[in-house]
Amino acid sequence: MSAGQKTGTAAAHRVVILGAGYAGMAAAVQLAARSNRHEGLQVTVVNAQERFTERMRLHMTATGQRLAELSIPELLKGTRAQFVRGWVTAVDADARTVRIEDDRVLHYDTLVYGLGGVASTSAVPGAEDHAYTLNSAQDAELLADRLRRLGSGTVVVAGSGLTGIESAAEMAERHPELNVVLLGRAEPGATLNAKAKAYVQAALDRLGVQVRAGVEVAKVLPDAVELAGGESIAADAVLWTSGTHMSPLAAAAGLAVDDRGRIVTDAALRSVSHPEVFAVGDAAAVRQGYGVMHGTCQGGMPTGVHAALTIDRVLRGKKPKPFRFGYYHTPVSLGRADAVVQFTRPDDSPRRLCLTGRMAVRYKEVVTASPWPTYGRMKKMPASGAFWPRGGRYTRIREAR
């Protein structure tokens, strides 16, 4: 890390954080809360919207349920972090600059890159033009408006992963007049243990969701989806939850990325090609003993905290510590009154233990709400955010001999 520019007699160190999702906000709050240790430290958070997107609740927004609107400047209130609203249009990793909507340039000494993934609609013809997504609160609100105006008809949810399951269940419960069809290559709950998987399938059946597993959408039309093999399913609305893609900005900047466009990091979450760049959340290809982490809130926030802790350590002349994280649960909502929580091993494989029904609902609601009190605690007591499951032997990476 460079010393940065001079402000008075103190060397300013400029940290720019791109993306104010769960990981980016964790990095911002942690670093800003520790900024009193570093005279001249400047923390700037850049995000396209002032509104914080609760990605874990977007399936609720898509069915017209009103959620509390959380303001990013309000969440940063009481810290020394500055907020800049705008779309990031370019990163120059050599010049260490970020361009905001083509008319503003921010200089950085350290960059925290947290521009995560969104549902990929480009691989299937017609999906980009005719399918709805849950990429943002605004996208979810567009779908909610469409469902509200339908009255009756068929809604197809493409993708039988956890987002697809939660969305299909929520739609069927909130709009019983609609015919909800869930399509996917795998059976819903395929990653859960036998009991949890059976519970998910029984809940979807009870809600009247038609499940079609082992199928693939080949084309999305204005009023239907066409499956590989030629079958057509009429659809008044299509929600696309299958697959994700990353922002192309990291690759365009010359940062080393994997085949999914995620920034390849070292053990401390620094870019292997540009160590002044940290990658957090979905944007990072973080290798652990069990493989590369997949994007979830439970792993995203710890990456943000670890990046902040590492920046703090380096500014104090200390060596970075390796990041280690082990998964511990997979919560799945099945409407407002039902849920499944699958407890997992650190490598994300299912344990025998799972919760179902109202106990699972209560557990998931606590988890879903947890970022807000966590951010609040971190502002007052920064060390409180540094605790998460390290994963033991599962996350230990052996050095090659």
Tell me the C-alpha distance between 73 and 44, whole Å.
Answer: 11
Q: What are 315-369's pLDDT values in tens digits?
A: 999 999 999 999 999 999 999 999 999 999 999 999 999 999 999 999 999 998 8
Residue 271 lies in a domain: yes
Which segments of 278-332 does DSSP mark as H helices, in order? 297-315
Region 216-232 average pLDDT: 97
Write down the pLDDT at residue 3.
47
User: Is 208's pLDDT higher than 70?
Assistant: yes
Pseudo-torsion of CA 233, 239, 243, 249, nearest 10°?
A: 140
Sheet containing strand 237-240, edge to edge, reads 210-213, 178-184, 153-158, 237-240
Does 111 share its domain with 126?
Answer: no
Instruction: Give the domain CATH number at 71.
Output: 3.50.50.60
User: Is 5's pLDDT higher than 60?
Assistant: no
Does 260 share its domain with 390?
Answer: yes
Of 215, 243, 271, which marks where a domain is finished? 243
Region 379-391 average pLDDT: 88
Of 204, 219, 243, which marks where a domain is finished? 243
Pseudo-torsion of CA 321, 323, 324, 330, nearest 10°?
A: 150
If pLDDT is split at 50, 70 and 90, which confidence band does 80 have? confident
Region 58-64 average pLDDT: 96
Give the single-character DSSP code of 48.
S
Give the mean pLDDT of the chain: 93
Write down the pLDDT at residue 295.
79
User: Is 401's pLDDT higher than 50?
Assistant: no
For 374, the domain range is 6-117+246-325+370-395
Does 109 share its domain with 153?
Answer: no
Residue 331 lies in a domain: no
Tell me the C-alpha distance between 51 and 29, whole Å.
Answer: 16
Does 138 share its domain with 196?
Answer: yes
Backbone angles phi, psi at 79, to 5 degrees: -110, 175
Residue bearing the bigger pLDDT, 270 or 384: 270
Q: What are 131-140's pLDDT values in tens digits?
A: 999 999 999 9
Does 222 share its domain with 175?
Answer: yes
Does 66 share its domain with 167?
Answer: no
Of 200, 221, 243, which marks where a domain is finished? 243
Closest CA to 311 of 112, 169, 149, 141: 112
Write down the pLDDT at residue 203.
98
User: Is 106's pLDDT higher than 50?
Assistant: yes
Does 214 share its domain with 258?
Answer: no
Q: What are 167-184's pLDDT values in tens digits?
A: 999 999 999 999 999 999
Does 182 share its domain with 157?
Answer: yes
User: Is 380's pLDDT higher than 90?
Assistant: no
| Number of compact structural domains in the chain | 2
Residue 338 lies in a domain: no
Structure tokens at 182: 């869930």
Region 288-299 average pLDDT: 91
Give the single-character DSSP code of 98.
E
Give the single-character DSSP code of 257.
B
User: Is 41's pLDDT higher than 90?
Assistant: yes
Does 273 share its domain with 288?
Answer: yes
Write down the pLDDT at residue 133.
97
Does 134 share its domain with 76?
Answer: no
